[in-house]
Amino acid sequence: MKNILVIGGGAMGSAFTIPSLENKNNVTISEPYSKRFIKDLSSKKKFHSALKIKLPKQLRFRKFSRNLLKENFDLIVIALSLPGIDFIGKELKDLKVKTPILVLTKGLKFEKKKNKILTISDQLQKNYNLKNISVLKGPCLAKELARKNQTSVIIANKNIKIAKSIGRKISTKYYLTEYSKDVVGVEVCSAIKNIYSMIIGAGQSLNSSSNLFQKAILEMRYLNKYFKGKDETIFGLAGVGDLYVSAAGGRNSKMGGFLGKGFTFKTAKKRFMPKETVEGEELAKEIAPFILKKIDKKKIPLMINLLKTIKENKKFKIKV
């Protein structure tokens, strides 16, 4: 039995607690800033408004504080949105926390001063001097995990023994873990698929979307190679696997559907998805300054088109 702290009370962080508890761990969850999720998690019923289920009674909610981070945990799980990475990085750095860290957050960071794209694990290591970081990615819709539908994910760490050690703590009969040393590839693929699932969602028919799907894989392969990820990762859970599930049923694909119908991003967000986080938009705004200047536009026309659509708030035109 291990003590696990999950930082981030949104859909994915909360869903992750279910297999962790089922694996006979003591699990504590904390939410730093969302009043909605703090209310959900601190209530007696523990009904999660995003997952639409009651979370297990044995899940403990604690108010976020520095004192909480100082306590003795065997694993700290980061399940915040991309903007929250700098916040938690600074908190952990200031306290000199040495506990193993597992990052669920998907995204990339553009370092303006260095004119460089960083993965989240790089960001935490280089900017906040954190060690022993593993990442967990793959085709996992939070609502399906919360309902214990069979789910496969991949844990990446250059030290595969550490990845497998974490896997043993959280795996169940329905929550299956694979392992990889390709941390860069796993992070890059799992991040950029949010943008490509939006593009695939813009197809207004299965024929159109399938064409966009295969072109998206080609562009992802090029970008993964550019950032020095391994080619094999594209065809695994963090690549094609994650792209498929996001395109089939995620929020990014949902937004893509509105873009495909001729709405601008801002109009669609305000009218149809005002309270939903669209990770692809956050990532697009983050990496656009680098991608638009540094990468051959002819190699990634779909990506370039969507970045400009969001940046300039114009209608998305599918070019295949």
Q: Please state the rounded mean pLDDT for residues 85-102.
A: 94
**Kind of pairing, strands 60-61 and 47-48?**
unpaired
Helix (H, G, I), strand (E, B) or coil at 273: coil
> How would residue 73 be classed by pLDDT, with cut points 50, 70 and 90?
very high
Helix (H, G, I), strand (E, B) or coil at 220: helix
Q: Please state the rounded mean pLDDT for residues 82-94.
A: 94
Look at residue 5 in the predicted model and tell me its pLDDT: 98
Look at residue 204 in the predicted model and tell me its pLDDT: 85
Residue 320 scores a pLDDT above 80? no
* Cα 299 to Cα 6: distance, rounded to the nearest angstrom: 39
What one-character DSSP code corresponds to residue 97?
A: -
Give burial (CB, 10 Å; 0-12/13-18/19+) of 179.
middle
Query: Which structure tokens are listed for 199?
Result: 């593009």
Look at residue 250 in the predicted model and tell me its pLDDT: 84
Q: Please state the rounded mean pLDDT for residues 48-72.
A: 96
C-alpha of 173 from chain center: 23
Q: Please state the rounded mean pLDDT for residues 221-227.
A: 98
> How would residue 211 be classed by pLDDT, with cut points 50, 70 and 90?
very high
Inter-residue contact 292 to 310 (CB < 8 Å): no
**What's the CA dihedral at 144, 80, 285, 106 to 10 degrees?**
-50
Q: Please state the rounded mean pLDDT for residues 247-257.
A: 92
> How would residue 107 be classed by pLDDT, with cut points 50, 70 and 90?
very high
Look at residue 83 in the predicted model and tell me its pLDDT: 87
Look at residue 220 in the predicted model and tell me its pLDDT: 98
Inter-residue contact 7 to 77 (CB < 8 Å): yes
> How would residue 32 be classed by pLDDT, with cut points 50, 70 and 90?
very high
Inter-residue contact 107 to 282 (CB < 8 Å): yes
> How would residue 319 be classed by pLDDT, with cut points 50, 70 and 90?
low
Please name which of 253, 274, 265, 258 lies closest in space to residue 313, comparing C-alpha atoms: 265
Write the pLDDT tens digit of every residue in 125-179: 999 999 999 999 999 999 999 999 999 999 999 999 999 999 999 999 999 999 9
- Which domains can be identified in the chain, with CATH numbers? 3-181 (3.40.50.720), 191-311 (1.10.1040.10)
Please name which of 227, 214, 198 lies closest in space to residue 306, comparing C-alpha atoms: 198
What integer best gives the mean pLDDT of the chain? Answer: 95
* Cα 48 to Cα 43: distance, rounded to the nearest angstrom: 10
* Cα 317 to Cα 309: distance, rounded to the nearest angstrom: 8
Residues 6+ apart with CB under 8 A from 171: 19, 23, 177
